[in-house]
Structure 1
Amino acid sequence: MNDRPTGNYEDRIADLERRVRLLEGSTGSDESPSADESAGTASPGTAGSIGYQGAVSLYGNVSWTIDYDAAATLGLDASSIAGVLDALGSPARLAIVRTLLRGPATAAELQEATDLSSPGRLYHHLRTLSAAHIVEQQSRNRYHIPPAKVVPLLVLSLAAADVAEEL
């Protein structure tokens, strides 16, 4: 079963359309899924499969499962992947993400939690995280991590710690 966070109707319709495109792609269509479409479950191929899952209760309950063809993973858009990794590659931005994984926060709360010296530095980092589709602005001065990104971000952190031999 592929548990996904529920969202508004537009999000749910977009997810259904993405799934249909993935199914059509797996029946021999010449169209290959885009990086956005690849966020769903794909059939494992002869190279094996890679996946992750999680059920998290930080500032809401989120479940996520993904299983993806290992060889196809190597064909995903490198610039999109590098953009996310680059955005998370700063200790200050990682501190912002870790704070927001615990729940939404205002800019003042983020500045205090991350010890950034100025609001300008904070907004610079927030723009980078927003451009990488990691952080969203909820209201004028309040930020959050979309529920669908919670488990993937925690897995990225765990995987990075594993690669750094911190586990």
Structure 2
Amino acid sequence: MSELEARVAALEARVAALEGDPRQTATSTGGIVSYSGDVYLAGDVTWSIDYSPDAVLDLPPDRAVEVLAALGHPVRLAVVRALLRGPAVAADLQAAVGLSSVGQLYHHLKTLTSARIVEQHGRGDYRLAARTVVPALVLMLASADIAGELR
């Protein structure tokens, strides 16, 4: 997803929230779950989303499980952390995450691209999709919170 597409998606989410989309507004029984961020790492990304807890529980689990599984491997998380700093070619990623072969790297990149976390631009050039920057950081922060690592 391009930066323009990410911005349009964010605007559509905000308009839906203002218009009372039931997926993105608090319910009288459930409250609201939200996250947002303004990130200036390899580029400027702004993202905000609000959902009712009931709507979150009603989301289909298949794609979420794929994303969580992709990020649940130490090497893949290291790749995502490296790409949060900016796009990289395969050789630089291989060195950054300490893999002995490019084949190992491509195995992990295939999982990350299948989960739509990482995008390939050109031959051997990888980056995080703009729409995944803030959610990936939120997942990293939330997992550290659950693990009791936040002060």
What TM-score results when the alignment is normalised by the length of structure 2?
Answer: 0.86
TM-superposed deviation, 1:15: 3.8
Residue among 120, 125, 130 paired with 1:142: 125
Q: What is the CA deviation profile of residues 93-134 of structure 1, one whole-angstrom value per residue up to 9, with x for unaligned ones?
A: 000000000000000000000001111110000000000000
Structure 2 distance, partners of 1:83, 1:146, is 16
Q: Which residue of 2 aligns with 1:75?
A: 58
Which piece of structure 1 moves more, 93-102 or 141-150?
Answer: 141-150
Instruction: Give the counterpart of 2:113 among 122, 130, 136.
Output: 130
Q: What is aligned with 1:30?
A: none
Match of 1:34 in 2: none
RMSD over equivalenced CA pairs, Å: 2.4
In 2, Cα distance between equivalents of 1:164 and 1:69: 24
Distance 1:6 1:141 in 2: 20
**SS of 2:34 mapped into structure 1:** strand
Q: What per-residue deviation string (whole Å, max 9, x for no partner) do you get for residues 129-152 of structure 1?
A: 000000000111100001111011
Q: Relative contact order: is structure 1 or structure 2 higher (C-alpha 8 Å, sep ≥ 6)?
A: 2
Give SS of 1:63's match: strand
Identity of aligned residues (%): 48
* Partner of residue 26 from structure 2, selected from 37, 44, 48: 44
| Deviation for aligned residue 1:25 | 9.6
Query: Normalised by the size of structure 1, how large is the TM-score?
Result: 0.78
Q: Which runs of 5+ in 1 are unaligned?
A: 28-37
66, 74, 82: which one pairs with 1:99?
A: 82
Aligned pairs for 1:1-167 (under 5 A) are: 6-7=3-4, 11=5, 15=9, 26=21, 42-46=24-28, 47-167=30-150
Return the alpha-carbon distance in structure 2 between the equivalents of residues 129 and 44 of structure 1: 32
Q: Distance in 1 between matches of 2:106 and 2:3?
A: 29
**Gapped regions of structure 2 (runs ≥ 5):** none
Q: Which runs of 4+ in 1 moved over 3 A?
A: 22-27
The structure carrying a bigger helix percent of its residues is 2
C-alpha distance in 2, partners of 1:6/1:84?
21
Aligned to 1:74, the other structure's residue is in SS state: helix
Q: What secondary structure is seen at the aligned counterpart in 1 of 2:58?
A: coil
